[in-house]
Amino acid sequence: MKAPLSRVVLTGATGGIGQAMAAALLSAGASVMLVGRSAASLSAQADRLLQTIPAAKGHVAWHDADITAPDGLAGLRDAASAWGVNVLIHNAGVSSFGRLESVEPHDMTQVLHTNLLAPMLLTQALLPHLLRQARSQVICVGSTLGSIGLPGFSVYCASKFGLRGFAESLRRELTDTPVRVQYLGPRTTRTKFNSQAVNDYNRATGTASDEPETVAAALVRMLEDESALSLLGFPEKLAARINGCAPALLDGAFVKHRHQLSVPAALCNPAS
pLDDT (tens digit, 9 = 90+) per residue, 11-41? Answer: 999 999 999 999 999 999 999 999 999 999 9
Q: How far apart are CA 137 and CA 120, in angstroms?
A: 14
Of the chain, the percentage scoring pLDDT greater than 90 comes to 76
* Residue 195 pLDDT: 82
* Residue 70 pLDDT: 97
Which secondary-structure segment (H or E) carries 35?
strand 31-36
Give the torsion sign (CA, 67, 72, 74, 79): negative
Question: Do 3 and 25 touch, CB atoms closer than 8 A?
Answer: yes
Q: Give the mean model confidence (pLDDT) for residues 67-83.
A: 98
* Residue 135 pLDDT: 97
Q: Within the chain, where are the H helices?
A: 16-27, 39-52, 70-83, 105-112, 118-131, 154-173, 196-205, 212-225, 236-245, 255-261, 265-268
* Residue 260 pLDDT: 83
* Residue 193 pLDDT: 78
* Residue 262 pLDDT: 58
CA distance to 164, 197, 246, per residue, from 108 (Å): 18, 18, 28
Q: Give the mean model confidence (pLDDT) for residues 135-157.
A: 95
pLDDT (tens digit, 9 = 90+) per residue, 50-59? 999 998 999 9
Of the chain, the percentage scoring pLDDT greater than 70 comes to 96
Cβ atoms within 10 Å, residue 224: 15
Q: How far apart are CA 186 and CA 195, in angstroms?
A: 17
- 182, amino acid identity: Q
* Residue 271 pLDDT: 39
Position 263 confidence tier, pLDDT thresholds 50, 70, 90: very low
Looking at per-residue pLDDT, the higher value among 203 and 7 belongs to 7
Q: Give the mean model confidence (pLDDT) for residues 173-196.
A: 91
* Residue 202 pLDDT: 80
- 65, amino acid identity: A
Q: Which CATH number fits domain 3-268: 1.10.1060.10, 3.40.190.10, 3.40.50.720, 3.40.50.300?
A: 3.40.50.720
Q: How far apart are CA 249 and CA 241, in angstroms?
A: 11
- Write phi, then psi, for 53 (nearest 5 degrees): -125, 105
Looking at per-residue pLDDT, the higher value among 9 and 206 belongs to 9
Q: Give the mean model confidence (pLDDT) for residues 65-69.
A: 97
Average pLDDT, the chain: 92
* Residue 266 pLDDT: 42
Per DSSP, the three-state class of 193 is coil
DSSP code at position 55: G
CA distance to 20, 188, 193, 213, 214, per residue, from 207 (Å): 22, 8, 16, 18, 16
pLDDT (tens digit, 9 = 90+) per residue, 99-117? 999 999 999 999 999 999 9
* Residue 270 pLDDT: 41
- Using CB atoms within 10 Å of the CB of residue 101, give its burial: 0 to 12 exposed, 13 to 18 middle, 19+ buried: exposed
* Residue 198 pLDDT: 83
Position 192 confidence tier, pLDDT thresholds 50, 70, 90: confident
pLDDT at residue 267 tops 60: no
Nearest to 29 by CA among 48, 64, 46, 5: 5
Q: Give the mean model confidence (pLDDT) for residues 216-229.
A: 97
Q: Give the mean model confidence (pLDDT) for residues 140-152.
A: 94
